[in-house]
Structure 1
């Protein structure tokens, strides 16, 4: 079981939803590389409106012409592990914003791979799981 508590570093990458890496969504490539690097976790958040260096406002409103919505990828792990991952981003990010914040992890505990399989079997058999 993976555990992370105490002082950590939060890496946030702001890009556009339509940004790509070798014909794949860039956010997906970042998440997969973070996973391969063994980082504690990564999440992608899709914004409903925003602007960046281009000063062009992107919005999800129905009558807007823009569909390239802002996306934020958030990764939290120890400072050493996050900083070791930064060269991967240098290769991937052409346009965007990358920021680092000190943070404190109050609670983080991952599941063992066996726990996931056990939970999935319980769902298939209609068993209620404890949260």
Structure 2
């Protein structure tokens, strides 16, 4: 039986080479989400993209992982993601932009 619930998705767009206290900013975001017990977080590295500087980042895939665009995607309730977003001000003032939107989560079967 499929289960559907209304949740939210927080997507943080940043450069893969953005650092926070000598470690990748995307890793810091994932670790903070894990410590707060959010439902899930994933990092996706892009092959091509551009941002505020309007420079298109395109290169060999092996180099893009370190220098190209990436997105951290988190899913949880809208209230929890709003609260989590406030804890990211220190990272987002230097790196990236965040987008929060409502989503429907579909699950099949039982949740482990």
TM, length-normalised to structure 1: 0.73
Which residue in the other structure is 2:97 paired with? 97
Three-state SS of the structure 1 residue aligned to 2:88 is helix
Residue 23 of structure 1, CA deviation: 0.4
Give the Cα–Cα distance (whole angstroms) in 1 for the partners of residues 48 and 15 of structure 2.
11
Larger RCO: 1 or 2 (CA < 8 Å, sep 6+): 2
Structure with greater proportional strand content = 2
Which residue in the other structure is 2:15 paired with? 16
Which residue in the other structure is 2:75 paired with? 76
Render the CA deviation track for 1:75-104: whole Å, top value 9, x for unaligned: 010111111101111121213221011100
Structure label with greater radius of gyration: 1
Aligned-pair Cα RMSD in Å: 2.1
Q: Which runs of 5+ in 2 are unaligned?
A: none
Give the Cα–Cα distance (whole angstroms) in 2 for the partners of residues 5 and 33 of structure 1.
27
Q: Which runs of 5+ in 1 are unaligned?
A: 112-131
How many pairs does the alignment contain? 105
TM, length-normalised to structure 2: 0.85
